[in-house]
Amino acid sequence: MSKFKILAKDGNARRGVVNTLHGEINTPAFMPVGTAATVKGIFTDDLIKTGSEILLGNTYHLMLRPTSEVVKELGGLHKFMNWDRPILTDSGGYQVFSLSELRKLTDKGVEFRSHIDGKKIFMSPEDSIQIQMNLNSDIVMVLDECTPFPATYDEAKKSMLLSMDWAKRCKTYFGENKNSLFGIVQGSIFEDLRIDSINKLTDIGFDGYAVGGLAVGEPQEEMFKVLDYVCPALPEDNPHYLMGVGKPEDIIGAVERGIDMFDCVLPTRSGRTGQGFTSNGPINVRNAKYKLSDQPIDPNSNNPVCEKYSLGYIHHLFNAKEMLGGMLLSLHNIYFYQEMMQGIRKSIEDGNLSNFNRDFREKYNSKLD
C-alpha cells in the first residue's frame, strides 16, 4: 500500500493522506514542535483535541538529553511522551549548525560541542539515522547541512553536494524499514542547484521530499520564488514538506504552490511571550487595552480556550507572570493553526482554495493591534 495518497487537487494545492505505523496524517498538515519530547506547556491529551495528528521531535536535543538509548529503553518516543500518533524527527543537522558554535564539518560527518555541557560529540549520517531509529519515529529525516543565507553559489553547491552524499548514506543505513525516510532538497536560492538536488534525491528514492534551507532569513518573496520551481520538480506521488515554516501567510502561500507538510515553533514560542494568533491578525495580550476585556482571544473561534477564558484574564496572567498564561495562549495558538489547516483542506476538496485564501488574508491583515 502506498504511504501517500492524493484525494483532491485545486491548482497546485493537494489534499492528501500520509499513512504511518501510528495512524494517518491528513494533509496539508501542521506539526507542532515537541523539541525535547514535549510541546512546551501543553498536555498531549489537549494536543489531540486541537486536531494535531503528528508532532515533530528533535534528534539533537534528545540525543543529548536524555539520550536516544534511554528513550529506547523506556519504550520509544511515543510511549516516553505519551503520544500514540505519528512522530516526525528532524535529523539534528539544523541545531548542530545553529546552536553549536564550535563545530567541524567533514565528509564523514560533523563534530560539535554540546550546548549543555560542552562535551565533544561526533555525528555521522549513520549516527543520525540510528538515533532516530532508537526513538522509533514514524518519519525519519536524512542528515543534511542547513546551508546558511546568504550563501555564494560555490558555497551553496559544495553544501548541497555534501548533503546529497549524506542522503545516500542515510538511505543505505536505513535499509528496508516499515517507517518512512524523507530526503531534503538543498541548494539555497539557486534554481539549477535545487533541481540538481531533487534529481539526485529521486535517483536515491525516498518516501517523501522536504525542502530545507528556507525560512533562514530570506524574504517571503524569495522563499515563494524557490517553491515556484521546486514544487513542480518534486515527485508527484510523495508528500512535500517545507521545513521550519512558519507564519500563517507563509503556509497558505506554500500550500498554493504544492507543499503538504509544515512545522514551526511559532505558535508555542509566541504563546509563551504573549502573542496570540487570531482570525483578525496577531495580537499582544500584554497590551493595556485588554485589561478589562471580557471577550475571547479570537471572537471568531469557539476553541476551549476562547470558550472558557477572557482576554482580560489572559492579560492578567501574563502581568502576574503566571505560567498558565503561556500555557493557555500556546494551546489557543495551536488551535488557531489547526483550524486554519482544516479550512485549507476543506477548501481544496471544494475547489475553493483561492477564495478561502483571499478571505483569510483580508481578515488576517486587518491588524487589531
Q: Which of 279, 367, 286, 300 is nearest to 329 (CA)?
A: 286
Instruction: Provide CB contacts within 8 A for 281, sequence distance 6+.
Output: 363, 364, 365, 366, 367, 368, 369
Residue type, 365: N
What is the DSSP annotation of 222-250?
A: HHHHHHHHHHHHS-TTS-EEETT---HHH
Q: Across-strand partners of 15?
A: 8
Cα distance between residue 313 and residue 292, in whole Å: 9
Run of H or E including 77:
helix 77-80
The label of the residue with cell 482570525 reads: 279
Q: Across-strand partners of 142?
A: none
Helix and strand counts by DSSP (H, E) for the chain: 15, 16
Active site residue 192: no
> Residues 138, 207, 263, 298: which is the catalytic one?
263
Cα distance between residue 274 and residue 326, in whole Å: 7
| Count of beta carbons in the 10 Å neighbourhood of residue 355 | 11
> Residues 90, 144, 250, 260: which is the catalytic one?
90
Cα distance between residue 17 and residue 28, in whole Å: 9
* Residue 177 C-beta-side C-alpha neighbours within 13 Å: 22
Cα distance between residue 139 and residue 141, in whole Å: 7
Which cell goes with 100? 553549536
Cα distance between residue 57 and residue 89, in whole Å: 5
Active site residue 45: no
Q: How far is C-alpha 340 from the geometric centre of its chain's CA atoms? A: 15
Which phi and psi angles does 347 have, rounded to 5°? -65, -35
**What angle is formed at CA 131 by the lines to CA 187 and CA 39, rounded to 5 degrees?**
80
Cα distance between residue 212 and residue 165, in whole Å: 16
Residues identified as active-site: 90, 263
